[in-house]
Amino acid sequence: MAIDNPQPKGSPFINGPRLLDRHRAMAQIGATANGGVNRQALTPEDTEGRRLLLQWATARGYTASIDPIGNLFIRRPGVRSSLSPVMTGSHLDSQPTGGKFDGVFGVLAGLEVLETLDDHNVATARPVELVVWMNEEGSRFAPVTMGSAVAAGAVPLERVLATQDTKGMTVSEALAQQISQLPPLESRPLGAQGFAYIEAHIEQGPVLEGARCDIGVVSAIQGLHLYQVEVLGFAAHAGTTPSKHRKDALVAANALIARIRSEVADPLDVLRFTVGRFEVAPGSPHVVPGKVTFSIDLRHPDPEHLLRTGDRILEICSGEIEHCSISAKALLRSSPVLFDERLVSVVLNVAESRGFAHMSMVSGATHDAKYMADRTPTAMIFVPSEKGISHNELEHTEDEDLCAGTQILCDALLVAATMEL
């Protein structure tokens, strides 16, 4: 990709009120009492969100298609349709008590760019394609970024389709159910790739707000490991079993977590260590727990530090603790990813040119952009999250920040879409 002129001279202004209206409409789907959303992947709410988006897209005449893992593509044609597209996108699914802009912002910002180009009769050499990735959050079906990982060939389609939710329903079944409730869509093969991919997203952390910046120019995504640990004790009567006869899986799991936390503790506070799921069986108040299963989410920007820490955790999670046996396995080991330097420069330059306060940063969260980066020059744009609150119903981004991020996305995509190879 050659960048002759990264300045967005003549780039049209996006339609802010329309962008905000659409956010409000989307936030009603799966709305929770505390102002967030619960729109987990492939649930009826997720389906309703996709239907609404498709309604907006088809009203403007864009064509829509879906790949075998349920990634949804909306395309605005280019002057030269043989050229590979300039792409943008994000996800519509949420955490169970998620915020209303997480993922949605990147999707609606992308749609706004397509419509802005139409409003201003801007023809681009390359097609512009908006993608809605299936199951970025990994909440109902683990792990995260399922759709983009399959699209990139990082995990096999068949294995992912067989993944079950806690009620035993597979991705395959849930996806078939969703597709039957969407308008007819063109089928397309796996392996989405393009000339460039730029994803807009809320930061989900406190850095931009703390630095009083409007725009984060994201140069990389830190690595993410996900482990599942099982602690096996022996269920026993809470009233009759003396301490010395117990194999209490909860006591053992807590001791194990305390030990791991103390061993991996990072004085620089760069490593992220989280036990987010913790399930006790049989789970009755009057029974000594016989089994505990818990998750470890581990992240670090340095690939070697991450691997070393992950290996150490697997080492600790073997053998016995408090008379209970421990076993652990890695569900995901995803290395840090560096974005395309030239495309990151495009974002930096348009932010500079529009006069927004901006900074370069590493993403703490993983994103679908991580898998696109394997096959397509990729960059990301962050907008601030109030108090850094994310994966929480109180997550918030100000209207002007949503508009600023969308404008930068529009400018950057236009630079990429009109460039000649």
Q: Give binding residues for Zn(2+) as ranges.
A: 91, 102, 137, 201, 391
Task: Evaluate the CA torsion angle 349, 351, 355, 358 in order and state its sign.
Answer: negative
Cα dist from 324 to 34, 229, 234, 236, 289, whole Å: 40, 12, 8, 13, 11
Is there binding between residue 109 and a second copy (CB under 8 A)?
Answer: no
Would you count residue 290 as binding a second copy (CB under 8 A)?
A: yes
Task: Return the residue of 135, 309, 390, 407 that touches a second copy, per CB under 8 A.
Answer: 390
Per CB under 8 A, does 239 bind a second copy? yes
Measured from the CB atom, the residue of 63 and 295 that comes closer to a second copy is 295
Q: Are the C-beta atoms of 312 and 266 separated by less than 8 Å?
A: no
366 binds a second copy (CB under 8 A): yes
Containing 321, the helix (H) or strand (E) segment is: strand 319-321
Spatial contact of 309 and 300, defined as CB atoms under 8 Å apart: yes
Contact 101/23 with Cβ under 8 angstroms? yes
Please state, in angstroms and as integers, the Cα–Cα distance from residue 140 to each residue in 105, 178, 238, 324, following that order.
Answer: 21, 15, 33, 29
Query: Quick one: 256 or 402, whose CB is closer to a second copy?
Result: 256
- 324 is a site residue for a second copy (CB under 8 A): no
| Chosen residue from 26, 27, 72, 144 binding a second copy by CB under 8 A | 144
- Taking the C-alpha atoms of residue 131 and residue 135, their distance in angstroms, rounded to an integer, is 12
Taking the CA atoms of residue 320, residue 325, residue 329 and residue 335 in that order, the dihedral angle to the nearest 10 degrees is -30
Nearer to a second copy, 67 or 322 (CB): 322
Comparing CB distances to a second copy, the nearer of 21 and 263 is: 263
Q: Is 97 in the site for a second copy (CB under 8 A)?
A: yes
Taking the CB of residue 87, how many other CB atoms lie within 10 A of it?
28
Nearest CA among 363, 72, 343 for reference residue 203: 363
CA atoms of 157 and 49, how far apart (whole Å): 24
Q: Is 204 in the site for a second copy (CB under 8 A)?
A: yes
Q: Does residue 167 bind a second copy (CB under 8 A)?
A: no
Number of residues that bind a second copy (CB under 8 A): 68
**Interface segment toward a second copy; rule CB under 8 A; list 92-100, 114-122, 188-196, 308-316:** 92-100
Span near a second copy by CB under 8 A; candidates 12-20, 273-281, 311-319, 348-356: 273-281
Find tokens 């389609």 and name the residue.
157
Cβ distance to a second copy smaller for residue 257 or 404: 257
Select from 8, 106, 127, 205 the one that contacts a second copy (CB under 8 A): 205
Which residue(s) pair with 173 in the sheet?
none
Which amino acid, one-letter code, is at 281?
A
Among 130, 365, 369, 372, which residue sits at the site for a second copy (rule: CB under 8 A)?
Answer: 365
Please spell the DSSP secondary structure of 339-360, one letter per residue: PPHHHHHHHHHHHHHHT--EEE
Does residue 156 contact residue 68 with C-beta atoms inside 8 Å?
no
What lies within 8 Å, CB to CB, of 376 at 6+ separation is: 87, 193, 194, 195, 196, 197
The alpha carbons of the chain give a radius of gyration, in whole angstroms, of 23
Residue of the chain from 115, 203, 230, 322 that contacts a second copy (CB under 8 A): 203
According to the binding rule CB under 8 A, does residue 100 interact with a second copy? Answer: no
Residue number, 141 or 197, with CB nearest to a second copy: 141
Does 235 engage in binding with a second copy (CB under 8 A)?
A: yes
15 belongs to the binding site for a second copy (CB under 8 A): no
Residues 391 to 410 in contact with a second copy, rule: CB under 8 A: 391-392
| Comparison of 157 and 280: residue with beta carbon closer to a second copy | 280
Among 181, 283, 308, 341, binds a second copy (CB under 8 A): 283
Q: What residue ranges bind a second copy (CB under 8 A)?
A: 95-97, 137-139, 142-144, 203-206, 222, 224, 226, 234-245, 248, 250-251, 254, 257-258, 261, 266, 269, 272-290, 295, 297, 299, 363-366, 388-392
